Chains A and B, each alone.
Chain A
Amino acid sequence: MSLPTDTPATVAPVPDTQLPPAPTWRRELRRAWASMVASRWALMGLIILLIAIFVAIFGPALAPFDPNRQNILLRLVEPGGAGPGGSVYWMGSDALGRDVFSRLLHGARVSLLVGFAAIAVGGTIGIIAGLLSGYFGGWVDDIIMRLGDIQLAFPFILLAIMFLVVLGPGLLNIILVLGIGQWITYARIVRAETLSLREKEYVEAARAMGDSTLSIMFRTILPNIMAPLTVIASFNVASVILSEAALSFLGLGVPPNVPTWGSMLSESREHLLSNRWWLAIFPGMAIVLVVLAFNIIGDWLRDHLDPRLREHG
């Protein structure tokens, strides 16, 4: 399991070079693509990710069955075995006779949704907190950073368990808990970057031109610190997906009628000793591949966006 308290320490420290206010996107994209193709790993990650996103969007339409349609007389059917009415369970059926393939396709949507939504929640809170903290400093900074200390000293898993036991498991609650669990990661990075950017010439210039504080924070500073945030977000999606699986294992995952890869994997554990491998292999592979893809892309983004590493190529 992986928990979002982890801060990839390899994330670029504040670059010494002064960033341009706006990169030229087209050139950047071309360069990115070239470097991605050059690194076969990154290309592989991208392909896996695109497939996963495709499945998340179109999977439910492709699924041969309702993922929650049970058929307890046709439970634990092996992959390729006969389903109801001449149909086939391509990836077998689970302990309630639900089609594993359909659940896997639907699960892609929920698992990725949990991953992205949690990052959106944590990222938004973290970015705002970090901007405030870094831009204003003083007591604002103190309060926010102390809150962060508290959060870090409180192992995320305990916080998650506590709130899920109390609030009850549910998709929204899980997203909130996983998201709130990592705001501090973003806040710290944004704060550090903001501190250094605050005194840069183009920020000074914006201030001199009478831009509002809000505009300076969100229009001038934020775009320039998106790079390290993207790197972290990529790693974090991976760890959120693993966390969701761990919470499912502890019985705090999504409700049983919501298929996620984590909950499918967790349900499979009672059947491993009795050789029902398909219950574990398919969701397990899906998790490993997607987590792998996010990690690879995170790596690549870091290498690609970190100017120091780039120089040494």
Chain B
Amino acid sequence: MSEASTQRSPLLEVNDLHVQFGPRRKPVRAVDGIDIVIYPGESVGLVGESGCGKTTTGRAIMRLLDVNAGRIQFQGKDIAPITGSALKDYRKQVQMVFQDPYGSLNARMPVGRALEEVMQVHRMGTRTERRQRAAQLFESVGLDPAYMDRYPHEFSGGQRQRIGIARALALQPQLIIADEPVSALDVSVQVQILNLLKEVQQQEQLAYLFIAHDLAVVGYICERILVMYQGKIVEAGQPSDLFSNPQHPYTQKLLDAVPDVDQALLRRSGASE
């Protein structure tokens, strides 16, 4: 996979990205010089503990935050300084799925309307075409279009996250930044949503930047994992390599933190005998 992908030009290339908060004299370096490369159709995981800067990275790439230094190149164009309609065009190509399925939908807007609005803002199709496309999107994420006129509070967390995914897909983006898309959901629903993400990736030839704190989740969906620690990327590799042979002590710690049910059971049965 990585052999093939190096021959293509990267979709997203982040070089030496810095994002700082707080006073200029003594800033908090939330993101402290990281590099990320994502090829078309590839899913890259970004893991780390809370506060390590992974969400900030995602938001900076989405241009929801100001970048202090570094370059973010999308299809070879630097998007760090763009504004106005260029930024709007960029956001058509790159979309985001949010962590909080409860808060990320407008409580006063019917969910179908939310999908139509995205297309309306980007001037796609006529009113009826947008409506039809919204219904298609609803079906593609496993929801019944009959519920398009319902409000978000009438849906469960998993259903709302499906709506969030449908909304991100509405513009047919090339890259989706998924910021902890399953961490607010029940474990049983998590797998469904992960499978849905995998499914739509194959259909739409999407690339993912998958941000999570849970290594198991990232390992399930990603072909390449970046481990982030205190604003820096400390280790990168394929899931199998990373899991079997972690190089950085922090990766080791993260792996230890994953509850390994099989091993625990083994140990317990050994002790009892």
Q: Does A pair with B?
A: no
Interface on B for A, CB 8 Å cutoff?
none
Chain A residues close to B by CB (< 8 Å): none
